[in-house]
Every structure is written in C-alpha cells, then in structure tokens.
Amino acid sequence: MAKSIGKKINTAIFISGSGSNLHSIIKNSFKKKFPAEIKLVISNNKFAKGLMYAKQYNIEHKFVNSTKINLFEKKVLNIVKKKKIKLICLAGFMKILSDKFIKGFKYKILNIHPSLLPKYKGLNTHKKAIENNDKFSGCTVHFVTKKLDSGKIILQKKVKINKKETETSLKKKVLKVEHSIYSKAIKIVLKTSY
Ligand code: GRF
C-alpha cells in the first residue's frame, strides 16, 4: 500500500534571477504526493524575473536588499521563522549565506549547482567544462554548508558535451536537467530526514 502523505513541509525558495528552477518546483509542488509546499519566495534582486512566478501563483514573495549581508540575513531569518519554514531551497541565489544564518535556521538548506561537483565550484562552470574539453557536465543538488558548493551531495545528473557545444547551449541543456533533479532531491530529503 502506498505510504500516506502527511502535511506538506513549508518551504522557501531563494532566488536572484530568472527563476526557472523556482517555476519548475512550484509546478511540482501542486502534485498531491509532492512533500513540499512553497510558502515563500525571497529575492535579493528587486528585478529578478523569477518574482513573476511567485506573483503568478499567488505565493508570498519578498525582495530583501542584500548589500549589507548581516542585515539581509537577520531580516530573512525573521520572515522565515514567522512563516514556519522548514526547508530552504536556493535556486540561482547569488549570495553566500553565513555560517550564522545556516546555524540560525536549524533546518535543511539545499542548493543547485550547474556542474558535477566537486568539479567547478563557484561561477562560470559551463565555460570551464568546455575549455577543459570535458566529455560530460551536469548539475548537482547538495546541502548548504559554510563552505561554498561543498555540502553533501543529494543528487547529480550528467549531460553529454558535444563537439560543437557552446556555453549557451550547454547552459540550456544543463538547466533542463536541473529542473528534473531539484524536485527529486527535495522528495529524497523530505522523505529521509523530516
Ligand atoms: C542555475 O543554473 C543554477 O544551477 C545556478 O543558477 C542558475 C539559476 O537558474 N545556481 P534559474 O534562476 O533557476 O533559471
């Protein structure tokens, strides 16, 4: 018999840009068996295109200025606690969260990174993979720790790099795979550690 699905876990998604991962998670979250409900979207960029998805689906969303990271984290932690958020997913969120924030949150924080970690931490992952003549690239969902892109890996998926691959074509290819693995990783995490 299928395991009965309990209450969905209140989840927040942090973005800075186009929000295609956010969009795909929101769509999956409406499925009965998906274990997360997207209750909050935080952006540190007022003009993030991704904010339109929050608006479109009527999800509470907030722009919080992150120029002063301490202040940003304090404000966000307050909002997150008020909304009883129990999972944070970083999806194209371009700020590094401090150890204080990570410890202060008390629950899990996930991130998606466009490379096969531990290869190519940080920025310009597609450029690096092509320049190094790698045969494969891909993406990784991992837990967020104080060390950038270094937390335990939850899920990873490869894509093949073709001979004529460009940074743009690789980005598009990897992004498509990101959309499928992020929701899968959320399911894994929520089923195993909550
Ligand atoms: C993705 O490639 C993600 O891996 C990286 O930033 C990009 C965000 O894309 N961290 P989007 O905003 O979800 O469209």
DSSP string, 40-92: EEEES-TT-TTHHHHHHTT-EEEE---SSHHHHHHHHHHHHHHTT--EEEESS
Verify whether ligand 1 is closer than 6 Å to residue 149 (CB atom): no
Compute φ and ψ for 150, nearest 5 degrees.
Answer: -125, 0
Verify whether ligand 1 is closer than 6 Å to residue 170 (CB atom): no
Three-state DSSP at 148 gives: coil
State the Cα angle at 77 between 33 and 65, rounded to 5°: 110
Q: pLDDT of the chain along its 194 residues, tens only? A: 344 457 999 999 999 999 999 999 999 999 999 999 999 999 999 999 999 999 999 999 999 999 999 999 999 999 999 999 999 999 999 999 999 999 999 999 999 999 999 999 999 999 999 999 999 999 999 999 999 999 999 999 999 999 999 999 999 999 999 999 999 999 999 998 78
Residue 66 has a pLDDT of 96
Take atom 10 of ligand 1 and give the residue whose Cα is closest. Answer: 92
Mean pLDDT estimate for the chain: 96
The residue to mutate among 127, 144, 178, having the most atoms of ligand 1 within 8 angstroms of its beta carbon, is: 178
Verify whether ligand 1 is closer than 6 Å to residue 43 (CB atom): no
Dihedral of the CA atoms 75, 81, 87, 89 (nearest 10)?
-10
Residue 44 has a pLDDT of 98
Long-range Cβ pairs for the range 60-69 (8 Å, 24+) = 66/95, 69/95, 69/98
Q: How far from 135 is each of 103, 117, 138, 161, 163, CA to CA, in Å?
A: 38, 15, 11, 5, 9
Q: How far apart are alpha carbons 6 and 15 in whole angstroms?
A: 27
Name, in order, each residue with C-beta under 8 angstroms of 109's C-beta and a sequence gap of 6 or more: 87, 88, 89, 90, 97, 102, 143, 144
Residue 194 has a pLDDT of 81
Direct distance between the N- and C-terminal alpha carbons of the chain, in angstroms, rounded to an integer:
21
